[in-house]
Structure 1
Amino acid sequence: MELITSPHLEAPDDFYEALIEAHQGLSTEESHAFNARLLLVLANHIGSPSVLRQAFAAARPARSP
């Protein structure tokens, strides 16, 4: 299975709004903890180590030579 990197969300604006709402009222520390828990929940849903490794690579910032 390959990681989908092209636009794939059914309603990206709705997703973004829901994500911002989920963070409302949280301190910076709580927000970071929420993001970590969300990542683990989504990683569990994906389940495939190879797809998760592709996601790690895609999310890393580009390095300068």
Structure 2
Amino acid sequence: MSELTLTPNIDGADDFYAELIEAHDGLTKDESDALNARLLLTLANHIGDREVLAQAIRAARQAG
């Protein structure tokens, strides 16, 4: 079983954030929500580990 990484772990995090925000430019709220859903499912598929994904869901739920 893998553990979810919750500490900063993205090279060029500020650049990634800017790219993510830019991807939403010009989108409606519904289009932006759909983009987020597609991104989430793409990354979840890449991770592939159901336990890590369950940990991520719990962490996101607790953070909100």
TM-score range, shorter chain: over 0.9
**AA at the equivalent of 1:20:** I
- Which residue number in structure 1 is paired with residue 59 of structure 2? 58
Paired with 1:31 and 1:18, the residues of 2 have a C-alpha distance of 14
- TM-superposed CA distance for 1:5, in Å, is 0.4
Compute the displacement of 1:62 (Å).
5.2
1:58 alignment partner, SS class: helix
State which structure, 1 or 2, has the greater radius of gyration over its C-alpha atoms: 1
Alignment gaps of 5+ in structure 1: none
What SS does structure 2 have at the residue aligned with 1:14?
helix
Residue ranges of structure 2 left out of the alignment (5+ in a row): none
Runs of 4+ in 1 over 6 A off after TM superposition: none
Question: TM-score, normalized by length of structure 2?
Answer: 0.93
TM-score by length of 1: 0.91
Over 3 Å counting, the alpha-carbon distance change for 1:30 and 1:10 in structure 2 is same
